[in-house]
Chains A and B, each alone.
Chain A
Amino acid sequence: MNSRFVQRFISHPAALPALFGLLLILLLAVLGHALSPFNPVLVDPHAQLLPPMWQAGGVAAHPLGTDDLGRDMLSRLLHGARLTMGSATVALLLALVAGVLLGSIAGLAGGLPDLLLRRCMDVLLAFPSILLAILLSLAFGGGMTACVMAVAIALTPHFFRVCRDGLCEELGKDYVSAARLDGAGPVSLYLQTLLPNLAAPIVVRGTLAFSTAILDIAALGYLSLGAPAPTPEWGNLLASAHDFIQLAPWTVTLPGLAILVTVLCANLVGDALRDAVNPRGANP
């Protein structure tokens, strides 16, 4: 089973490069502090709006150029990787835990709890992450926490559905009845039999949700609903570069490319995983 799975994953043409790309980006995010040549908030009035080094006027000290205050773009992007991906990861894990927990309760208990929880998730689905972030920032003050919470809450219904629907499907299968007949208690049945079978779809959903989380966090940063101003979060970088799009296009293209490449890698890995788990190619 496992080796077949790996084989199927590898046979996906873009899976391995994307996986390596994603790992590399994660590594850069973790090591960002050590690798970045400058302090990302260091203002240098003598090095404003320098283009990347391959363009005319660029200098090697700032390989990706500088922004309007002379801050080094490479350093800001590296620090931003950590911030954006870090908060996306936190949001993802929160949503995963909440979604799986609630989904399991709904799937196992059935009946009224199931109905109530499904209604709750429908309620959450009515609030896009931006709307949630706006409301949370109103109630609890803005900033990164509200932003991460909003993204986590918006993602929870996805995990809930995967887990609940998966459980409902598995519960009707023969091997579950067999395990029941064997005298397996509900807890051990859940932990030893059901959860392992659900792991694959949850991981697939998680990889795809990771890309959603990054896009959402960046979007909230772009609308100044996330991290406060000088923080080099990727969406923030784009927001502050917005004024200079006509003058210094690289301050806009670079953070956007960073987001695009990361999300693309995550989506490719997610697609390959899904195809490997479910070779018939059904949809999310």
Chain B
Amino acid sequence: MWRSLFAGFCSVGLLVACTGGEQSVRATGLVYCSEGSPDSFNPQISTSGTSYDASAHPLYNRLVDLDPDTGEPQPALAESWTVSRDGTRWKFKLRREVQFHRTAWFTPSRPFNADDVLFSFERQWRPRHPFHRVSGGNYAYFANIGLGELLTGIVKRGEHEVEFQLREANSSFLTMLSMEFASILSAEYAEKVLQAGQPQQLDQLPVGTGPFQLVRYDHGAFIRYEANPRYFAGVANVKRLVFAITPDASLRLARLRAGECDVMAQPSPAHLPLIRQNSKLKLYSQPSLNISYWAFNTRRPPLNDARVRQALSYAVNRAAILDAVYFGAAELAKSPVPPLVPGHDHALQDFRHDPARARELLREAGYGNGFTLDIWAMPVSRPYNPNAKKMAELIQDDLRQIGVNARIVSFEWRDFLRRLRLGEHDSVLLGWSGDLNDADNFLTPLLSCEAIRAGSNRALWCNDEFDNLLNEARSSRDLALREQHYRAAQELFKAQAPWLTIAHSTQFLVARQSIQGLRQSVSGGVYFHHAERRP
């Protein structure tokens, strides 16, 4: 018996020994433990950072990119551009010989050209476009940013030349074109799937021009990419790239520590000290443009009463949340607009933790005996909120102090977002990662009446005065006047309290020391084009 046991242990040791070294597959492959499943592989129809990280960054390119350091627009699929003197006509010269992905489901017959640009924007812009209604027809970002109203025409001036015509000059137009929703898809592929009667395939089996191409997506388990061998900006070092979908932050770290993945998204702030101590791991961080909030469904009683919303805001001890959920890696948010962003109201009066005041407000509103409330806590961790369930538990505890009985509700992520869009919630803990250093980017997509239609206004809050302020701010050329409008809008927001703003967090990324050349994206993901493994 002992002999067989001994032999068993020896073979186990051998196993460990001979698979521990560097091998071909491991040397040229990279596994990224991501935090959730993408809702599609088309950034035009997604709004979640998770989907952008899995689609826009590895699979597609835009006409222009922003320089990560200076924020200046750089050529990407557009080689160069010129703008008319009045600033309303932008002419882009397109890069030649850019090849679309050759995959199991599509073989391109021609390189990228102007038709692809037209297709990519007109799908989102023209309600009559054959693809406009495909996959839900919800182009939240395109709509929120107001590109539909800004554009008057997109004209093909040649095989490799496109002109964008605007209603008025807009200084952030190039920045808009660098955003994820402005990714360029293949018109030829679209034509093919349309003829096959499967137009929604365009959004699920993607074909782009990016550094990686999709091999297989196993729903909820992994996304397998391979390097695009014809990538115009140089073939990626990493030959096989896998996103291992791991919603559990603790399991993500365990996988990273055990060497099952090389890079992980969004470590739980609780684990930061552990990661800093570990000499095999490297921590990347950047201050982020994000906001975590608790939105009240303002269409449901008793939350349609501003006093009730204020009372709930007074009841929550947010300092404790920062400690327990973010472990200090965040700052208290008093406005939806982060302090770094121009237009943030530094003088804004914030709710302090005051249960007595909360009870008083509830009495005034006629709910002295309390009520029952659902808190929806998202099932995944995002940079703005690493642990919504824990946050919900803390809030539940705070609400008990003022006689409000809270129930914590959660669904699978996709289901969760779908139900939210239908407005089935009482209140929800959610957040937003902005991609522009612009106050409008935090207010219009989340709190305007238009955003209710787009399905991203979680409070279902529509206030005409607030919308007017935002419109005036957008159209004013005078920076001071513009900021004044934004400050007024934030004060109105605070008085009406459709949300309780909770935190602006710091974004983290962890990688094994041997991985180099990573770059963090603003939405919390990673660019893998230049990543490589150093022994």
Instruction: List residues of chain A with CB under 8 Å of any chain B CB.
Output: 43, 45, 48-49, 68-70, 229-230, 242-247
**B408 touching A229, Cβ below 8 Å:** yes
Q: A45-B324, A68-B270 are in contact. Are A245 and B393 (CB under 8 A)?
A: no
CB distance from B38 to the nearest CB of A (A): 24
The SS class assigned to the A binding surface is loop
CA A184 to CA B317, docked complex, whole Å: 74
CA A230 to CA B248, docked complex, whole Å: 19
Instruction: Given contacts A48-B324, A69-B394, list 14 more A-B pairs with CB under 8 A.
Output: A43-B397, A49-B270, A68-B324, A69-B393, A70-B324, A243-B248, A243-B249, A243-B268, A244-B250, A245-B250, A246-B250, A247-B270, A247-B271, A247-B274
Q: A45-B323, A246-B274, A247-B270 are in contact. Are A68 and B250 (CB under 8 A)?
A: no
CB distance from A237 to the nearest CB of B (A): 15
**A43 touching B394, Cβ below 8 Å:** yes
How does the 8 Å CB contact mask read for B305-330 relative to A, with 1 for contact and 0 for none? 00000000000010010011000000
Q: Which residues of B contact A69 (CB under 8 A)?
A: 324, 390, 393-394
Some 10 contacts from A to B, beta carbons below 8 A apart, are: A43-B397, A48-B324, A68-B270, A68-B324, A68-B390, A242-B250, A243-B268, A245-B254, A246-B253, A246-B274
Nearest A residue to B275 via CB reads A246
Q: Which residues of A contact B268 (CB under 8 A)?
A: 243
How does the 8 Å CB contact mask read for B323-340 relative to A, with 1 for contact and 0 for none? 110000000000000000
Q: Which residues of B contact A242 (CB under 8 A)?
A: 250
CA A151 to CA B248, docked complex, whole Å: 29
**Cross-chain pair count, CB within 8 angstroms:** 40
CA A125 to CA B62, docked complex, whole Å: 60
Q: Which residues of B contact A230 (CB under 8 A)?
A: 393
Nearest A residue to B394 via CB reads A43
Chain B, 378-418, CB within 8 A of any chain A CB: 390, 393-394, 397, 408
Which 8 A-B pairs rank lowest in CB-CB distance, beginning with the nearest? A45-B320, A243-B250, A43-B397, A45-B324, A45-B323, A247-B274, A247-B270, A246-B274
CA A184 to CA B205, docked complex, whole Å: 80
Q: Which residues of A contact B249 (CB under 8 A)?
A: 243
Q: Which residues of B contact A243 (CB under 8 A)?
A: 248-250, 268
Counting chain B residues whose Cβ lies within 8 A of the other chain, the interface size class is 10 to 19
**A43 touching B393, Cβ below 8 Å:** yes
Chain B, 350-402, CB within 8 A of any chain A CB: 390, 393-394, 397
How does the 8 Å CB contact mask read for B230-255 relative to A, with 1 for contact and 0 for none? 00000000000000000011100110
Q: Which residues of A contact B408 (CB under 8 A)?
A: 229
Nearest A residue to B396 via CB reads A230
Q: Which residues of A contact B390 (CB under 8 A)?
A: 68-69
CA A45 to CA B394, docked complex, whole Å: 9
Nearest A residue to B319 via CB reads A45
CA A198 to CA B261, docked complex, whole Å: 58
**B393 touching A48, Cβ below 8 Å:** no
Interface centre among A70, A229, A242, A246 (most CB of B within 10 A): A246
CA A202 to CA B335, docked complex, whole Å: 67
CA A247 to CA B317, docked complex, whole Å: 25
How does the 8 Å CB contact mask read for B243-286 relative to A, with 1 for contact and 0 for none? 00000111001100100000000001011001000000000000
Q: Which residues of B contact A48 (CB under 8 A)?
A: 323-324
CB distance from A38 to the nearest CB of B (A): 14
CA A230 to CA B393, docked complex, whole Å: 9
Interface centre among B250, B323, B390 (most CB of A within 10 A): B250
Q: A43-B397, A69-B390, A69-B393 are in contact. Are A246 and B271 (CB under 8 A)?
A: yes
**A244 touching B270, Cβ below 8 Å:** yes
Q: Which residues of A contact B320 (CB under 8 A)?
A: 45
Interface centre among A45, A48, A68, A242 (most CB of B within 10 A): A45
CA A48 to CA B271, docked complex, whole Å: 13
CB distance from A51 to the nearest CB of B (A): 13
CB distance from B438 to the nearest CB of A (A): 35
Q: Which residues of B contact A43 (CB under 8 A)?
A: 393-394, 397
CA A69 to CA B392, docked complex, whole Å: 12
Nearest A residue to B273 via CB reads A247
Q: Which residues of A contact B248 (CB under 8 A)?
A: 243
CA A123 to CA B117, docked complex, whole Å: 63
CA A246 to CA B408, docked complex, whole Å: 26
Q: Which residues of A contact B274 (CB under 8 A)?
A: 246-247
CA A242 to CA B270, docked complex, whole Å: 13
Choice from A45, A70, A246 contacting B254 with Cβ under 8 Å: A246
CA A49 to CA B271, docked complex, whole Å: 12
CA A241 to CA B131, docked complex, whole Å: 48
CB distance from A45 to the nearest CB of B (A): 4
Q: Which residues of B contact A245 (CB under 8 A)?
A: 250, 254
Q: Which residues of B contact A244 (CB under 8 A)?
A: 250, 270
Nearest B residue to A41 via CB reads B397
CB distance from B387 to the nearest CB of A (A): 8
CA A17 to CA B274, docked complex, whole Å: 41
CA A43 to CA B397, docked complex, whole Å: 8
Q: Which residues of B contact A247 (CB under 8 A)?
A: 270-271, 274
CB distance from B160 to the nearest CB of A (A): 53
Nearest A residue to B271 via CB reads A247
